């Protein structure tokens, strides 16, 4: 019988990239977990937190934490929202109990010990963009090792890969020129590496990079890391 | 707070070449920094947490440590002046200059961000003193009437042609735009200045509590000449620059220098031990240390206190995606980049500089690069809170507290994305591009 795990699917994925949520469920099923959405979930509180309203952020974060039964394991297909649960909660003084929050890649690599994965359907050169909030998770890099398990996936190195995509939530709306400049540097590096697809842990980064790419007439593909893994199944 | 801070306007006005210069310099420095720290320490992460602990120890005992530093400095024959603010510091230094050159002193300066902070050059010049920056980058900045855009590499926003032009405009012959030729021309010009100077002014990288000595690192040798050739040496040092003991330098020198320039040690490391003694032929007759508070005590008792660990290495500037895009002048403050985004509003208030705390993607590259483990993104979040009315997001909060309404609202996101002005602008989605930009996104309808 499959073990159960909860999924906090995040509002950006729900709103902009539902394929990432679907793929997360498929990937978890493949490693023997039955994924159930956190009931009544909305947001982790990060938008208000980043914009300085800690009071509203704390209320929404506490609500999200309260929806997860104590001791549950919750998988989040986003480094950013995972960081909110693990690190932001400390800064806000929220009580997280003994709920364990996993970013999807961490869950697969560390918790499940995934060390093999079916091959890709076709050969492809991709760039992995590590979302910045991974830095606040304080864990080893799980995603590139996981993607390397996929035969047929050629992971290009672009130098400066740890650089931000320029999204930063409301930052991109407040500083559109700066934000676009940062994204453009990243996309230029991706294109000159001969990659056709950008893979990331976070829908925020993907939607932002895709928006800038399209506005420049680009044709790169953008996929959540769960989508890439799910495509092999 | 305006939706479009001054910051964004600066980037719009800047030419494209600017980000390219800063970005490529930043990238190179990041690689060099990592290599240097890996060479210097078997465990760079442990070195960094130890350094943070040492600085925290200093900050927790700052009052008594400053007094002990003063005692030892006095016993070496140095003079110590306590300056509450920039004005007091400038006045103290001007007094020393007037004593050394009553009709206007000739002053040579080593690179010092503290003197930038107090606006010392202008203060002295307005009172009839002749001031020359002797660090090559700072010299170019001075000739151009410009400001440093980086705390370690002040002319990261200029190239060699800009530098050669600056020297030529000042009547200094530069045979070619090659860096070696520019440096040689500046060197021979500055030698004259050193020879004729009455006062040398420097900053300080560290002040050692146990011995009262001042530590200065540099690569060009101009600081050595500034601090030893003139009869008087004035040091302007922020009160947070103390280290408990000289043995701490074994950790802090490679950490600072590796983080700043990717070297193991700088070409010159000075330990300034006071005026020349009886029978000594070299060195100044008088050494004055000015201890600068200028808001630091207030920061010490604020939630931003950890920013006072800062060694001014500039590593956070070099890795910052936003700094790379806009360079230092966009920050409008002496201290730019992530460190400045915390320090400027902490020192001067969120009313004037709160927008700098917004000018960050919170990516955390600064924290990762910081040799003293300053959690800059956390501090920025705290500053954003100070500049925000709590509860201002309560409408959003009410939405997020009801999952049925929330889910209905999420369905509108793809459409909202198409019409929201910020999102449209960042992606350059002007009206004629609108059609091809997005069609009903992925997933269920």
In order along its 445 residues, chain B shows pLDDT tens digits of 444 457 888 888 887 788 888 988 899 999 999 999 999 999 999 999 999 999 999 999 999 999 999 999 999 999 999 999 999 999 999 999 999 999 999 999 999 999 999 999 999 999 999 999 999 999 999 999 999 999 999 999 999 999 999 999 999 999 999 999 999 999 999 999 999 999 999 999 999 999 999 999 999 999 999 999 999 999 999 999 999 999 999 999 999 999 999 999 999 999 999 999 989 988 999 999 999 999 999 999 999 999 999 999 999 999 999 999 999 999 999 999 999 999 999 999 999 999 999 999 999 999 999 999 999 999 999 999 998 999 999 999 999 999 999 999 888 877 776 666 566 666 654 333 333 334 434 333 3
pLDDT at A1: 62
Cβ distance B227 to B171 under 8 Å? no
Cβ distance A50 to A204 under 8 Å? no
User: What residues in B contact A177, CB-CB < 8 Å?
Assistant: 8, 11-12
The pLDDT confidence band at residue A97, using thresholds 50, 70 and 90, is: confident
> Does this model's pTM top 0.90?
yes
In the numeric block, which tokens belong to residue B411? 């369905």
Residue labelled with tokens 């302007």: B236
How far apart are the C-alpha atoms of B445 and B438, rounded to whole Å?
14
pLDDT at B21: 87
The DSSP string of B310-370 is: -----HHHHH-HHHHHH-GGGG-SSS-HHHHHHHHHHHH-HHHHHHHHHS-----HHHHH-
How far apart are the C-alpha atoms of B206 and B237, rounded to whole Å?
8
Whether residues A185 and B23 touch (CB distance < 8 A) is answered with yes
How far apart are the C-alpha atoms of A206 and A222, rounded to whole Å?
6
Interface of B with A in 421-440 (CB under 8 A): 421-423, 425-429, 433, 436-438
Span A208-230, average pLDDT: 95
How far apart are the C-alpha atoms of B209 and B241, rounded to whole Å?
10
pLDDT tens for A148-197 read: 999 999 999 998 888 999 999 989 988 999 999 999 999 999 999 999 99
Contact status of B362 with chain A (Cβ, < 8 Å): yes
Q: SS3 of A198, please?
A: strand
How far apart are the C-alpha atoms of B198 and B378, rounded to whole Å?
46
CA distances from B410 to A134, B59, B220, B407, B413 (A): 25, 48, 59, 5, 5
How far apart are the C-alpha atoms of B431 and B414, rounded to whole Å?
17
Cβ distance A201 to A224 under 8 Å? yes
Alpha-carbon distance B205 to nearest alpha carbon in chain A (angstroms): 29
pLDDT at B427: 67
Cβ-proximal residues to B67 (8 Å cutoff; 6+ apart), any chain: none
Whether residues B8 and A176 touch (CB distance < 8 A) is answered with yes
Residue B133 β-bridge partners: B109
- Mark B226-263 as b/e (b = at least 16 C-beta within 10 Å): bbbbbbbbbbbbbbbbbbbeeebbebbbbbbbbbbbbb
Among B168, B4, B261, smallest CA distance to A176 is for: B4
How far apart are the C-alpha atoms of A40 and B439, rounded to whole Å?
29
How far apart are the C-alpha atoms of A233 and B273, rounded to whole Å?
70
Alpha-carbon distance B55 to nearest alpha carbon in chain A (angstroms): 22
As a whole-number percent, the residues of chain A with pLDDT over 90 amount to 87
């Amino acid at each position: 019988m499959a073990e159960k795990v909860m999924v906090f699917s995040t509002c950006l994925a729900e709103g902009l990239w539902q394929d990432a949520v679907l793929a997360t469920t498929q990937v978890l099923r493949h490693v023997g977990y039955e994924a159930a959405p956190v009931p009544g979930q909305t947001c982790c509180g990060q938008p208000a937190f980043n914009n300085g309203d800690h009071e509203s952020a704390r209320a929404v974060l506490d609500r999200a934490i309260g929806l997860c039964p104590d001791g549950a394991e919750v998988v989040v297909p986003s480094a950013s929202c995972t960081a909110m649960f693990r690190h932001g909660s400390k800064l806000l003084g929220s009580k997280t109990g003994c709920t364990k929050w996993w970013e999807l890649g961490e869950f697969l690599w560390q918790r499940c010990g995934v060390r093999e994965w079916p091959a890709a359907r076709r050969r492809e050169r991709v760039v992995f963009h590590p979302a910045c909030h991974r830095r606040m998770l304080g864990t080893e890099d799980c995603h590139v090792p996981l993607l390397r398990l996929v035969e047929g996936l050629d992971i290009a190195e672009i130098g400066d890969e740890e650089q931000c995509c320029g999204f930063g939530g409301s930052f991109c709306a407040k500083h559109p020129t700066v934000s676009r400049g940062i994204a453009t540097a990243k996309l230029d590096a991706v294109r000159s590496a001969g990659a056709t697809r950008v893979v990331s842990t976070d829908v925020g980064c993907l939607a932002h990079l895709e928006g800038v790419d399209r506005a420049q007439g680009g044709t790169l593909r953008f996929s959540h890391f769960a989508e890439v893994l799910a495509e092999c199944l | 707070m305006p939706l479009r801070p001054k910051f964004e306007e600066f980037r719009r006005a800047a030419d494209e070449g600017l980000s390219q210069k800063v970005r490529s310099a930043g990238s190179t420095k990041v690689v060099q920094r990592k290599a240097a720290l890996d060479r210097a320490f078997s465990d760079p992460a442990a070195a960094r947490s130890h350094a943070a602990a040492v600085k925290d120890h200093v900050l927790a005992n700052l009052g008594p440590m400053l007094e002990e530093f003063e005692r030892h400095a006095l016993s070496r024959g140095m003079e110590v002046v306590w300056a509450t603010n920039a004005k007091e510091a400038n006045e103290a230094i001007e007094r020393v200059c007037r004593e050394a050159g009553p009709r206007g002193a000739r002053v040579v300066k080593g690179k010092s961000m503290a003197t930038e902070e107090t606006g010392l050059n202008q203060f002295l010049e307005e009172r009839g003193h002749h001031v020359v920056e002797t660090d090559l980058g700072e010299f170019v900045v001075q000739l151009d009437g410009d400001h440093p855009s980086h705390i370690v590499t002040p002319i990261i926003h200029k190239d060699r042609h800009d530098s050669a032009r600056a020297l030529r405009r000042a009547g200094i012959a530069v045979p070619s735009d090659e860096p070696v030729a520019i440096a040689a021309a500046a060197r021979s010009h500055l030698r004259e200045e050193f020879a004729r100077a009455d006062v040398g002014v420097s900053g300080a990288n560290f002040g050692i509590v146990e011995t009262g000595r001042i530590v200065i690192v540099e690569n060009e040798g101009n600081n050595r000449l500034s601090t030893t050739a003139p009869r008087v040496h004035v040091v302007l040092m922020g009160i947070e620059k103390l280290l408990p003991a000289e043995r701490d330098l074994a950790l802090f020198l490679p950490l600072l220098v590796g983080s700043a320039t990717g070297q193991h040690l700088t070409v010159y490391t000075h330990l300034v031990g006071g005026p020349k003694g009886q029978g000594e032929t070299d060195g100044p007759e008088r050494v004055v240390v000015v201890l600068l508070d200028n808001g630091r005590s207030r920061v010490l008792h604020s939630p931003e206190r950890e920013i006072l660990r800062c060694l001014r290495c500039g590593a956070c500037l070099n890795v910052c995606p936003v700094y790379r895009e806009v360079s230092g002048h966009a920050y409008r403050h002496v201290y730019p980049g992530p460190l400045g985004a915390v320090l400027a509003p902490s020192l001067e208030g969120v009313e004037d500089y709160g927008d700098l705390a917004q000018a960050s993607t919170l990516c955390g590259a600064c924290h990762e690069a910081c040799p003293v483990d300053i959690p800059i993104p956390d501090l920025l979040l705290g500053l954003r809170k100070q500049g925000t009315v709590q509860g201002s997001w309560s409408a959003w909060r009410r939405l997020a507290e009801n999952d049925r309404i929330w889910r209905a609202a999420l369905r509108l996101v793809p459409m909202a994305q198409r019409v929201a002005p910020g999102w449209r602008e960042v992606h350059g989605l002007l009206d004629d591009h609108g059609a091809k930009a997005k069609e009903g996104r992925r997933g269920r309808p």
